[in-house]
Every structure is written in C-alpha cells, then in structure tokens.
Homo-oligomer: A and B are copies of this chain.
C-alpha cells in the first residue's frame, strides 16, 4: 500500500476511528453540539487536561486557529508568531481577512519563539497608528518539527503574560509534542502519565487557548478549541458559527474524539509517528551529503538532500521541498508509516548518493 512523506494528513483515518463512527447509535440527536456524544467528548477532553476548560469542536486547523484568535484579538490588535507559522504562511490569509488583525512574524529558523522575541513589538503600545500586540501564537510541535519543551514554554508564556499578552497554541501536532515529552521523561526514568505529558506542553505552562488538533493524527476530520482562560470564552460560540466552523451533526466529531481519547489512541499514534521520524532522521544523517537541518523532535524530518537525489525521491515518495534554494526537504512521518517505507526511502536515498 502506497505511503508518502508529503504530509501527515496524507495518511488515512485510523481504523478504530472509523469503527467508532459506525458504532454510534443511529437515533436522532439534537444538532450543533447539544447531544450526549459531543458532551461526553468535550468532558473527556477537559478531563485529559485536568481542568474545567471550555471545549468546542470545529472542522479543521485553519478554522480552529482563526476562530480562536478572533476571540483573543480584535481588528486593531496584533498576533505575534513565528514567521513560518501556519497561520502566517498557510491559511490563505484567513486570519487577516476574517479576523482583521495583523500578524507579526518573527524569523526563527527552528520555528520557536523566544521570550526576547516579544520585546521589539512592545514599544508602540498605546500608539494608535500601529496594531497593538495582544496575543502570542506558537505552534506545538512547530512547523519544522521542533518542540517547545515544557520549561521553555513556561518561560515564553510567562514573558507573554508579563507583557499583557495572552497565549494561543496551534496544536495541529500537539499529540506529537506530548509524545516527545513523554519519551524524554521515560528515557530519564520518570514514569510520566500520558495526560501529564499532554498538560506539560499546554495547560501546565499557562497557555490560554489551544487549537487541539487531531486530523493529522488519525481522525477523518475534526479539531477542538480549548479555552483554559475562560475570560476569553464568551464570544466564542458566536465566532465559531460566524467563522463557518459549527458542524450540524456534531456527534460525528464528538464520536471520533471519544475514541481518540479512549486507551490513549492519540498517544499511540503520535509515538509511532515520532519514532518513525527518529528512525528516518538518524538513518539519513548517515548519508554523505545529507544534512538534518533542524533537530528531529516530533514527526517531521527536515533534511538537505543532494541535488541529484531530489527528483527520484520525490517521484517515489511524494514529499515537498521546504526550501528549494537550500535543497531542504520536509519528510512528514504519519501514525501509520511503516518501517519498511522508511527503510525503503533510506535505501533509495543511499543508492542515489553512492
């Protein structure tokens, strides 16, 4: 069965998720979220984070991010993010066009904002000619497969809060970040629970709002927006609807999430993807002329290729170049990527550079 490194959304829905959908009761249920399945799923998500959070289901990551940020920033305000942030480069201008606010992108090769990156934007506070910084949005795991480790995340969130900014996390790959933290803890002999790992990369660091991604990690469709800071929550219901993100037959999102939480399916999928990426990364690092450009901490491998290898590898394994000038490829590993797919890539790569 054909497998690609194009994106973790090239992978199919997990069979257990599909099974759970088929097993949902075929009765009638009030739509738009007032059903028992959706309520249970929302409760399950809040339980995972261990706090009384506001949980709202939406369709996709762009919808989650845009609707969440609309609750956090008004049109004359600004959102500080990494220049490479998905909201800045890959959401078709939806944040500006729908939210009206401005994105202030910071060039960061590893995709991670640092506390000191906030300062340059704080100087024109109160000056009506300039958008007023209100939010920091960070991506966890980042667009180049790095992680905000818990201690770094806490420092960044604290700096943001000290500056009067709230913090949004684009968690399209939040499970991969949690899985990475769990693996590191366990390697250090710390028997961290899955929930503790998930909390360490989100709520325990003090973030305000999370786009809780799941589609890249096994769902057909569906994400959740989670308000830890409930002061920001009151307009959200209206904003979700107005951002075209309110699903009628909501139980078909809720039902997926129920299964996703059950027996930590989210974690198993994310661990599998991360381990595949680690395997791929370390093998490619051995190939002369290949260079892993950013630490492989989650499920993406960013590696420079020898020029002659690019076309044949793309042809066979369907991935994108992240930076054509630098011959830098992005290889995304999915929850279901097989070891033989990874090994075949490595073998082919080696044969092309031999």
Measuring CB to CB, which residues of chain A are less than 8 angstroms from any residue of chain B?
1-4, 6-7, 9-13, 15, 18-19, 21-22, 24-32, 59-63, 66-67, 74-78, 89-94, 96-98, 100-102, 123, 128-132, 215-216, 220-221, 235, 237-249, 252, 318, 324, 334, 336
**Chain B nearest CB, measured from A31 CB (Å):** 4
| CB–CB B244/A59 < 8 A | yes
| CB–CB A96/B102 < 8 A | yes
Q: 25 interchain pairs (CB within 8 A)?
A: A6-B28, A10-B29, A10-B30, A11-B28, A19-B22, A21-B220, A26-B336, A59-B244, A60-B248, A62-B241, A63-B244, A76-B92, A76-B235, A90-B130, A93-B100, A93-B101, A93-B102, A93-B131, A94-B243, A94-B244, A96-B97, A96-B100, A98-B244, A220-B252, A221-B252
| CB–CB B92/A247 < 8 A | no
Residues in B whose Cβ lies below 8 Å from that of A131 = 92-93
Knowing A59-B60, A123-B324, A238-B128 touch, does A252 contact B13 (C-beta < 8 A)? yes
CB nearest neighbor in B for A123: B324
A6 is contacted by which of B9, B10, B30, B334 (Cβ under 8 Å)? B30
CB nearest neighbor in B for A96: B96
| CB–CB B13/A18 < 8 A | no
| CB–CB B76/A241 < 8 A | yes
| CB–CB B22/A3 < 8 A | no
**Identical subunits present:** 4
| CB–CB A26/B9 < 8 A | no
Knowing A29-B10, A101-B96, A235-B74 touch, does A246 contact B2 (C-beta < 8 A)? no
The SS class assigned to the A binding surface is loop
| CB–CB B244/A66 < 8 A | yes
A248 is contacted by which of B4, B9, B239, B248 (Cβ under 8 Å)? B9
Complex Cα distance, B76 from A239, in Å, reads: 7
Residues in B whose Cβ lies below 8 Å from that of A247 = 59-60, 221
CB nearest neighbor in B for A317: B28
| CB–CB A129/B90 < 8 A | yes
Residues in B whose Cβ lies below 8 Å from that of A89 = 129-130
Knowing A22-B18, A22-B19, A238-B132 touch, does A249 contact B215 (C-beta < 8 A)? yes
Knowing A241-B128, A244-B63 touch, does A2 contact B27 (C-beta < 8 A)? yes
| CB–CB B92/A241 < 8 A | yes
**Chain B nearest CB, measured from A6 CB (Å):** 6
| CB–CB A28/B334 < 8 A | yes
